[in-house]
Amino acid sequence: MVKGFSDNEVKNNTQNTQNTQIKETKKEKKGLAGFLKGKKFTYTLPGKKQINIFGSIVIGLNMILLLLVILYLKNQEFHNFVFNVGR
Protein backbone atom coordinates (compact mmCIF):
# COMPACT_ATOMS: atom_id res chain seq x y z
CA MET A 1 0.00 0.00 0.00
CA VAL A 2 1.26 3.45 -0.95
CA LYS A 3 1.42 5.95 1.89
CA GLY A 4 -1.48 8.43 1.83
CA PHE A 5 -3.63 6.43 -0.63
CA SER A 6 -6.17 3.74 -0.07
CA ASP A 7 -6.04 0.46 -1.96
CA ASN A 8 -9.02 1.43 -4.14
CA GLU A 9 -7.37 4.63 -5.36
CA VAL A 10 -4.13 2.82 -6.24
CA LYS A 11 -6.04 0.12 -8.15
CA ASN A 12 -8.05 2.73 -10.04
CA ASN A 13 -4.91 4.62 -10.99
CA THR A 14 -3.24 1.49 -12.36
CA GLN A 15 -6.37 0.58 -14.31
CA ASN A 16 -6.60 4.11 -15.74
CA THR A 17 -2.97 4.04 -16.86
CA GLN A 18 -3.51 0.63 -18.46
CA ASN A 19 -6.61 1.91 -20.28
CA THR A 20 -4.75 4.93 -21.63
CA GLN A 21 -1.92 2.68 -22.81
CA ILE A 22 -4.41 0.45 -24.63
CA LYS A 23 -6.05 3.50 -26.24
CA GLU A 24 -2.66 4.78 -27.38
CA THR A 25 -1.85 1.48 -29.08
CA LYS A 26 -5.22 1.52 -30.89
CA LYS A 27 -4.60 4.87 -32.60
CA GLU A 28 -6.24 5.53 -35.91
CA LYS A 29 -4.18 4.57 -38.90
CA LYS A 30 -3.06 7.48 -41.03
CA GLY A 31 -2.42 7.91 -44.71
CA LEU A 32 -2.85 5.03 -47.11
CA ALA A 33 -3.28 2.47 -44.31
CA GLY A 34 -6.24 4.43 -42.95
CA PHE A 35 -7.78 4.75 -46.40
CA LEU A 36 -7.45 1.03 -47.12
CA LYS A 37 -8.62 -0.02 -43.65
CA GLY A 38 -12.22 -0.79 -44.61
CA LYS A 39 -11.58 -1.75 -48.22
CA LYS A 40 -11.41 -5.33 -49.39
CA PHE A 41 -9.17 -6.01 -52.35
CA THR A 42 -8.85 -9.29 -54.13
CA TYR A 43 -6.02 -10.09 -56.49
CA THR A 44 -6.77 -12.23 -59.49
CA LEU A 45 -4.08 -13.76 -61.61
CA PRO A 46 -3.84 -12.43 -65.16
CA GLY A 47 -5.26 -14.56 -67.93
CA LYS A 48 -3.28 -16.27 -70.66
CA LYS A 49 -4.14 -13.56 -73.21
CA GLN A 50 -2.98 -10.77 -70.89
CA ILE A 51 0.27 -12.61 -70.12
CA ASN A 52 0.94 -13.01 -73.85
CA ILE A 53 0.28 -9.31 -74.54
CA PHE A 54 2.60 -8.08 -71.79
CA GLY A 55 5.24 -10.63 -72.69
CA SER A 56 5.14 -9.50 -76.34
CA ILE A 57 5.47 -5.86 -75.30
CA VAL A 58 8.48 -6.62 -73.08
CA ILE A 59 10.22 -8.71 -75.75
CA GLY A 60 9.49 -6.05 -78.41
CA LEU A 61 10.94 -3.26 -76.30
CA ASN A 62 14.03 -5.35 -75.53
CA MET A 63 14.55 -5.95 -79.27
CA ILE A 64 14.27 -2.21 -79.96
CA LEU A 65 16.79 -1.47 -77.19
CA LEU A 66 19.18 -4.08 -78.57
CA LEU A 67 18.84 -2.60 -82.08
CA LEU A 68 19.56 0.91 -80.79
CA VAL A 69 22.64 -0.24 -78.86
CA ILE A 70 24.04 -2.02 -81.93
CA LEU A 71 23.28 1.04 -84.05
CA TYR A 72 24.98 3.27 -81.47
CA LEU A 73 28.13 1.13 -81.47
CA LYS A 74 28.37 0.51 -85.24
CA ASN A 75 27.08 3.73 -86.86
CA GLN A 76 29.17 6.84 -86.23
CA GLU A 77 26.45 9.24 -87.41
CA PHE A 78 23.93 7.78 -84.96
CA HIS A 79 26.60 7.89 -82.24
CA ASN A 80 27.19 11.60 -82.90
CA PHE A 81 23.42 12.26 -82.96
CA VAL A 82 22.96 10.62 -79.54
CA PHE A 83 26.01 12.39 -78.18
CA ASN A 84 24.81 15.82 -79.35
CA VAL A 85 21.18 15.32 -78.26
CA GLY A 86 22.36 14.23 -74.80
CA ARG A 87 24.00 17.61 -74.11
What percentage of residues in the chain have a pLDDT greater than 90? 44
State how far Cα 36 lies from the chain centre. 13
Q: Note the pLDDT tens digit of each residue in 40-55.
A: 777 788 899 999 999 9
Confidence of residue 16 (pLDDT cuts 50, 70, 90): low
Higher model confidence: residue 13 or residue 64?
64
C-alpha angle with apex 23: 41 to 4, nearest 5 degrees? Answer: 170
Residue 5 in this model has a pLDDT that exceeds 70: no
State which H helix or E strand residue 36 sits in: none
Specify the pLDDT at position 36. Answer: 72
Provide the terminal-to-terminal Cα distance of the chain, rounded to the nearest Å: 80
C-alpha angle with apex 86: 84 to 87, nearest 5 degrees? Answer: 70
